[in-house]
A and B are shown apart, each in its own frame.
Chain A
Amino acid sequence: MQRIGVFVCHCGSNIAATVDVEKVVEYAKLEPGVVHAEDYQYMCSEAGQMKIAEAVKDKNLTGIVVCSCSPRMHETTFRNAAKRAGINPYMVEIANIREHCSWIHKDIEEGTEKAVILARAAIAKVNLNAPLEPGESRVTKRALVIGGGIAGIQTALDIADAGYEVDIVEKTPSIGGRMSQLDKTFPTLDCSACILTPKMVEAAAHEKVNIYTYSEVDKVSGFVGDFTVDIKKKARSVDMDKCTGCGVCSEKCPMKKTPSEFNRGLENRSAIYTPFAQAIPNVPVIDRENCIMFKTGKCGVCSKVCQAGAIDYEQQDEIITENYGAIVVATGFDTIKLDDFDEYAYNQSKDVITSLELERVMNAAGPTKGHLERLSDGKAPKEIVFIQCVGSRDVTCRGKEYCSKICCMYTAKHAMLIRDKYPDVNVTVFYIDVRTPGKNFDEFYRRAVEEYQVNYIKGQVGKVMPQADGKLLVQGVDLLDNRQILKEADMVVLATAIEPEAGVRKIATMLTASIDTNDFLTEAHPKLRPVESPTAGVFLSGVCQGPKDIPETVAQAGAAAVKAIGLLAKDKLMTNPCTAKADELLCNGCSTCANVCPYGAITYEEKEINDHGIRENRRVAAVNTALCQGCGACTVTCPSGAMDLQGFSNRQILAEVDAICR
């Protein structure tokens, strides 16, 4: 029989205001195995921990139940306290009477009743606890960064500067990401390429950074400190060692009808292409779906014109398997599809464009060579309307509930740049709210309004109607003036909501990293662990975690790097001793558990089993405790109940359920 001590925390008034802690103590004393129970204002404080140590000594405790906050908060604190007091840390159970109880109840009687039940369940579990010892696992001193935008580049550079090897996996033919598509950046209006290109070059030149472009993460196994990742290097059809980047192949390619991804489809590119002039690596790829050679077997122009003999139509996809200690996700974003927003006539008129498309139009390397012109007829616009919150802060199912955060600022930037370069153009901005928190942000917006006379109208646009003469009739509302507005425009720019890059779901699944309802990756704690995923060893950088601008992205990229470096700096990691274990007498050897194990921790061995005197050679499951992460998938899938999770055995869980239902 265990000798259990129960310690009930007030957490100031966090718990004590909604739970009668003394009553919890009183009831806990009645439970089997409990020899000591007390309450205290802050159990996690030095004094609180001392109380636990004293009780262990005085009452000879073998098990401890702390009724307090979530185990994610203080389980480690109390396990360490137990260890210092001479008890195995895994003899400690936490009853979460704060997040699961006091914070969600208003009525003290209901709160107390639930707290008593939760304490009872934890006591029932401790009665069946057994001491466990953690093992050790190694740390591979190499990091993987998924995504080669500004977030991924910054994270990789910071990790590499700390002396660790980093691989960047980028799915497009070049690193650079969204930032490479931007013209100018707020709030300083410096040229995006001017500040990004040096970073790209630095990453490419860094001896510790290795870049896989036109590549994707194909498979992830393993766990914190020792992930094994398959990277699929898609066939580029160009030999990277031979290519000199002269560009003749793209120039001579007869197939020039594919919409350019880099220019958001506003211009066409050739089938063999380098996405943009500053691309790294400066080696083109053949888009096999659109290449005449691959479609018909006849052409081969690029091969003929290539002086270096770099074109290789036979090249195959290649799988590279590498081990990593840490993985940083930096997959970034895209703008949402506007198919459901017919009212803005985006699909009807070429002169209705998204803000990201406007970036390309304003850019000297863009489809109009940087001249502001209508894409339908090339005429200079005189009247431009910007519409904010297209799909952002939208509670209908077609849009996103969240604020995309960057649109207010880039719209002010666009408006200002247009007014500066083309003073005769009138610019009107329809907005719900203008949100400019950030260093020098509001000043920037005020400049647009005051210095550049951008016409800001609080209100939304209901409809954009293309007219026969090529103009766009914009119907909106001015909420401050309380009047309908009907305005003729030459161009309409939509501040389209951003969403996580489409592939993030697949990557999150491979990493077993959680995502929220909007597909943004979830952080381990929204305030205290904002750059870590709840999955150990996985870190978050940039917009994949939530909308943010460039300064914030770079700051978070650095933070993610620091967390990864902190992990890579360790030589060994303590492993969780709560691992699965097979009861060989019950094991059928059916392999079902091995099929469901996400960590490949289960193997099978033929061995002699002595079942109460009957000796038999049988196939039984064996768990590699260094690989097992204690997820429990095997325990629920085992038909004969032979698999059990130490520290969370079926018996313990059922004892908890019984205690709750009693």
Chain B
Amino acid sequence: MQELINKSKELLASGSINRVLGWKAGDLSYNPEPAFFTSEEELADFIYDDFCAANLSKFMIEAAKKEGKTLVFLKPCDTYSFNQLLKEHRVDREKAYIVGVGCSGKLSTTKIKEQGVKGITKITTNGDTLEIATLYGDKSLNRSDVLLERCHVCKGKEHRIYDELIGESKETSDRDKFKEVEMLEKMSPEEKFAFFQQELSKCIRCNACRNVCPACSCRKCVFDSDKFDSAQKLNANSFEEKMFHIIRAFHVAGRCTDCGECSRVCPEGIPLHLFNRKFIKDIDELYGEFRAGEDAETVGPLTSFTFDDAEPQEAVERG
């Protein structure tokens, strides 16, 4: 962490950057939040630890409108989102100084709490073990038991775009990313409907998933614009619960990098990544493997045409 702060100070002092985009401590020690830093003093709040899961790419849209360069810290998986935004001309490469930071997987506070840990005062990482100080005494947990879902399907330790790298990364993938989707595919239509009905009925339309999503970067979202009949602020009925999420899934199809932020921030714990991953699996199978954000140039399969493309009939027959 100190290395990141030093780099920030150095570049701020040299004048080659105007601000730093990183994380600062939140209300709780295990709840850091994204923040801009413009001076050495502000950097005193800078933090980078196992809970800095937030993907900072989307904030670079705002940074692109500001004067001068912004130093941004991106984890390997965050760089996919940055590339995708670059492809869509939403961020400005010239105005970004990208420091690729090391990552060995980020932790889920929800999962920690699910282990029955309450009243957390401090969490220290010690190799593969988490030492947790609570109001009710000390606890220890296996780090791998409380990794975020997305870290179990880690994209690898390679940064896809950067100006410089600081810190070591470790690939934490230990699951097949499409396993859950395959289970869903095996369900009957009725079972599938019941599953999603059940999950989406929890939605409180807080818009957290949309607001955090780097693919949901529209200047004016169709759900906020009175130009469209889809504008809505709340879920008036079960149809609207589903409509919001299904429209959102369609809008990010082919552009979603599977960064998992939607599921991470959902206060109701809805596995929203399943929608996106189903699309990714379908795209892979119909058009060949494609990973959004791998680079900033390739036109995605849903917005390009090749003679090898699947015929519409093939998609229909798959169901």
Contacts and interface: CB of A to CB of B under 8 A. Distances in A.
Interface of A: 506, 509, 583, 585-592, 595-596, 598, 604, 616, 619, 637, 639-641, 650, 654
A592 B292 CA distance: 14
B88 interface: yes
A357 B227 CA distance: 66
24 contacts: A506-B307, A583-B227, A585-B219, A585-B220, A586-B218, A586-B220, A586-B227, A588-B89, A588-B218, A588-B219, A595-B303, A596-B304, A604-B89, A619-B89, A637-B302, A639-B218, A639-B251, A639-B252, A640-B220, A640-B222, A641-B225, A641-B228, A650-B228, A654-B229
A589 B229 contact: no
A149 to B, nearest CB: 23
A640 B229 contact: no
Interface string B216-233: 011111100101110000
Nearest to A633: B303
B299 interface: yes
B306 to A, nearest CB: 10
B292 to A, nearest CB: 12
Contacts of A587: 219
B304 A641 contact: no
A619 B61 CA distance: 13
A586 B303 contact: no
A660 to B, nearest CB: 15
A479 to B, nearest CB: 38
A590 B89 contact: yes
Interface of B: 65, 87-90, 217-222, 225, 227-229, 251-252, 255, 299, 302-305, 307
Given A586-B220, A588-B90, A641-B222, A596 B303 contact: yes
A651 to B, nearest CB: 8
Contacts of A596: 303-304
Contacts of B228: 641, 650
A596 B220 CA distance: 22
B225 A586 contact: yes
Contact of B88 (A591, A616, A650): A591
Contacts of A595: 299, 303-304
Contact of A592 (B88, B222, B225, B229): B88
Given A583-B227, A641-B227, A589 B307 contact: no
Contacts of B220: 585-586, 640
Given A506-B307, A586-B220, A591-B88, 15 more contacts: A586-B225, A588-B90, A588-B218, A590-B90, A591-B89, A595-B299, A595-B303, A596-B303, A596-B304, A639-B251, A639-B255, A640-B219, A640-B221, A641-B225, A641-B227
Contacts of A591: 87-89
Contacts of A588: 88-90, 217-219
Contacts of A637: 302-303
Contacts of B307: 506, 509
B303 A640 contact: no
B267 to A, nearest CB: 25
B30 to A, nearest CB: 34
A595 B90 CA distance: 16
Contacts of A592: 88, 303
Contacts of B299: 595
Contacts of B217: 588
A589 B89 contact: yes
A216 to B, nearest CB: 13
Nearest to B255: A639
A79 B196 CA distance: 48
A359 to B, nearest CB: 32
A639 to B, nearest CB: 5
A654 B230 CA distance: 11
A180 to B, nearest CB: 29
Contacts of B219: 585-588, 640
Contacts of A509: 307
Nearest to A591: B89
A598 B304 CA distance: 10
A204 to B, nearest CB: 32
A639 B248 CA distance: 9
Nearest to A596: B303
Nearest to B303: A595
Given A506-B307, A595-B304, A640 B218 contact: yes
Contacts of A585: 219-220
Nearest to A598: B305
Nearest to A505: B307
Contacts of B252: 639
Contacts of A619: 89
Contacts of B87: 591
B256 to A, nearest CB: 12
Contacts of A654: 229
Contacts of B88: 588, 590-592
B33 to A, nearest CB: 26
A619 B90 CA distance: 9
Contacts of A506: 307
Interface centre among A583, A596, A640 (most CB of B within 10 A): A640
Nearest to A655: B229
